[in-house]
Structure 1
Amino acid sequence: MSSREPYLSIVRGDATPEETAALVAALAARAAARAARPAAPETKPGNWRNPAHRLRVGLPHGQGAWRGAFFPGR
């Protein structure tokens, strides 16, 4: 892009200089807010894509087995 090409051009309509200035100010504020926002932490994909997650595991046996079947981790 050369220095003579406009950075922003109105393609359709007849914008006044005030409207153009308001648009530029809104775009600049949005870009500044995005730059100031901290980067989102990288997350690992969910387990729903793991085919092993769909395999059925055996149910617990013995006394209190119903508790282990319905409330795992207790």
Structure 2
Amino acid sequence: MTIKVVRGNPTPEELAAALAVVRARAAAAAAQPSGAEPPRAAWSDPSRIAHRRVPRPGPTSWSRTYWPG
């Protein structure tokens, strides 16, 4: 695995942290069986907002009308 810094001058600690994240993501992706769907983020799960009441008109109702899919 090769990582190239395109901009900036990161410290060795910053590079080590970035590499740890990239390697952890690669290991998690390799551990998943092929053809399996990645886990859905909690914020995009429709059941998160399905149990709430139907939004009523008002100044903040726009924030409750989006149904993530």
The TM-score with structure 2 as length reference comes to 0.46
- Higher RCO structure, 1 or 2 (CA under 8 Å, sep 6+): 2
